[in-house]
Amino acid sequence: MQTLTIIQPDDFHLHVRDGDALQSVVPYTAKQMGRALIMPNLKPPITTVAQALAYKRQIQAAIPAGCAFEPLMCLYLTDKTTPEMVREAKAAGIVAFKLYPAGATTNSDSGVTNLFNLLPVLEEMAKQGILFLTHGEVTDADVDIFDREAVFIDKIMKPILNQLPNLKVVFEHITTAEAAKLVCESGDNVAATVTPQHLMYNRNHLLVGGVRPHFYCLPIIKRESHRQALIRAVMGEKSHKFFLGTDSAPHPKHAKENACGCAGMFSAMTAIELYAQIFEQAGALDKLEAFASQNGARFYGLPENTRKMTLIKQAQKIPESVQFGESEVVPMCAGEEINWSIQSVA
């Protein structure tokens, strides 16, 4: 039976919520990943070093015995963030600040209203070597939801990159050909994370035959031509600029299957197996290790993980749902068989 051994991967974009829900989902990631970058959009958001360190301790308490897993912390960028807060974050080991344009996604009400007002903060981030992570969408009411990322590139991303050429930027969970092109054509200070859902699905999966709420995420899944562009980018000539970031974002089943269902797909349960299937189907399984285990570590200035993971070509069936605090969450590919399983991490 076919096996594949790679350096233990990292997840550079992960949501684990808090409380009992956190206790339910952290073990899935801890058993797979060496590290994960934890998103700060809780209620209230993680905006200070003290909050981030307390949140890190909560996550560490949920790590199963025997797992060599490290949560990496970032802070939520707001209109009130200052250069002094950037310096404090650097001293405390915070690795990044995350931009949520106000109203762009789950728990983004405290997000930035005008990024250009924060240029002194971004300049200090460049000086300190702290990364700038961006949810790259505009939220203007007159912009079609499928065009938000492309408009963000022209109105915000390109001007920021022109003004701050030394700022290290991760364009998070990219979804479009325009975003892939921007990353490929930018300098070595610009990289991107790519989710399994945006590599596997197009908007037909969300909309054909009725609205399927468990395929609803933000940024929203785009047309097939964009999915194909992402596949080419993560496996192409500039593939070193792209790395694993699941954007795994669990929500209770009842909150997804709702008249106003929330955005997010829960992939942490079988994240690396999903990526293995994607890369195999594209005929690029040999590129999985760089994408999952090397490119992100290099961009963040981190050493590669010392453990190895062995995957085996053995089908596994994803459960219809799993426990999520006092509720349940529907995982990505629920009820389906996927082609790969983890054999060992050691």
Annotate 106-146 with DSSP letters as a single string.
TT-TTSBS-GGGGHHHHHHHHHHT-EEEE------TTS-GG
Question: What residues have CB less than 8 Å from 257, skipping those under 6 apart?
Answer: 213, 214
**Regions in the chain scoring below 70 on pLDDT:** none
**Second-level CATH architecture of 10-306:** Alpha-Beta Barrel (3.20)
Report the SS3 class of residue 64: coil
The predicted pLDDT at position 104 comes to 78
> What gap in Å lies between CA 42 and CA 236, rounded to an integer?
35
Long-range contacts of 197-202 (CB under 8 A, 24+ apart): 197/221, 197/247, 197/265, 197/267, 197/332, 198/173, 198/174, 198/222, 198/227, 198/230, 199/227, 199/230, 199/231, 199/234, 199/275, 199/278, 200/227, 200/274, 200/278, 201/227, 202/226, 202/227
Q: Is 247 tagged catalytic? A: yes
Where exactly are the structural domains of the chain?
10-306
Q: Is the pTM of this model over 0.85?
A: yes
Annotated binding-site ranges: 13, 15-17, 41, 98, 135, 173, 218, 247, 251, 263
7-59 tens-digit pLDDT:
999 999 999 999 999 999 999 999 999 999 999 999 999 999 999 999 999 99
Annotated binding-site ranges for Zn(2+): 13, 15, 98, 135, 173, 247
Longest CA–CA separation in the chain, Å:
56
Residues, the chain, total? 346
DSSP 90: H
User: How many alpha carbons lie under 13 Å from residue 141 in its C-beta half-sphere?
Assistant: 0
Which of 11, 18, 144, 247 is flagged as catalytic?
247
Annotated binding-site ranges for substrate: 15-17, 41, 135, 218, 251, 263
Q: Say if residue 85 is exposed, middle or buried (CB neighbours under 10 Å; 0-12, 13-18, 19+).
A: buried
Lookup: tokens for 302: 């981190």
Instruction: Give Rg (Cα) of the chain.
Output: 19
